[in-house]
Every structure is written in structure tokens, then in C-alpha cells.
Amino acid sequence: MDALFLTTFLQVIAWLMMAAFWLLVIWVFIFVFGDIFRRHDLSGLGKAGWILLVFIIPLIGALIYLAVRPKMQVNDPDIAWAPAAGALSPADEVAYAQKLLAAGTITQAEFDEIKRNLGL
């Protein structure tokens, strides 16, 4: 029965801090691996190199990756300036396309095609 009470308060705090540290390390690895596989600007060889570095030098490799990785760019295949599909009524889409035409973002032919696709 005395063996159950041999753990002191400071030992409990130390165990909690170690558990929090390891949870943080696991979270960093999950984030790094997810970020490496999600990036479109890294080639397959680049992804393999980063994964290998993180496996060879676990915590230091992950911290190096977090320090030197480039900022995430908008890699959406959709047109960056286009509003979400279905967010605008056809009249609003034509007005938006007219603004883009006036700004020189799209050509007259593209504007005519937008109107034709909307049935106007």
C-alpha cells in the first residue's frame, strides 16, 4: 500500500510535463509530414529528401523544415480572382465580369463567353 503513495507531487508534475512535451513532438511531426505531402511546389525528390531528413535527424530535421520552408502559395487550380461558384446570381456575375473587363483582367472575348455561358 505504501508503494502507491511514493510518488510525490513534483514527480507527477514532471510526468505531466514530459507527456505534454511528447504530445507536442508528435504534433510537430504530424504537421511537418502533412505539410510536406500537401505542398505542390516541392518535387517528389524534394519531398523524399525532407522526409529522409526528418527520419534521420527527427526533432532537428522537423525544426529545420519549419524554419526554411517557403510560405504556402495559392495553388488552387481555380482562377484566383473568381468568386466561389454559385455565390453570385447571373446578373451579379455579369457585373463582376464587367468590372474585370474594365480593369483589363479579362478580354472582351472572355467577357462574351461568360455572358454566353450564363445564357445572356
Q: Are residues 15 and 60 in the same domain?
A: yes
**Planar angle of CA 95, 98, 100, nearest 5 degrees:** 115
**Domain of 103, in residue numbers:** 76-120
Q: Is 65 helix (H, G, I), strand (E, B) or coil?
A: helix
- Cell readout for 86 is 454559385
Whole-model pTM? 0.51
Kindly report the average pLDDT of the chain as a whole number: 82
* Count of domains for the chain: 2
- Cell readout for 102 is 474594365
Q: Are residues 86 and 51 in the same domain?
A: no
Please count the other Cβ atoms lying within 10 Å of the Cβ belonging to residue 35.
Answer: 15
* pLDDT tens-place string over residues 2-42: 556 667 888 889 999 999 999 999 999 999 999 888 887 78
Whether the CA torsion 79, 80, 85, 86 is positive or negative: it is negative
* pLDDT tens-place string over residues 31-90: 999 988 888 778 889 999 999 999 999 889 998 998 998 776 554 444 445 556 566 777
Q: Are residues 12 and 58 in the same domain?
A: yes
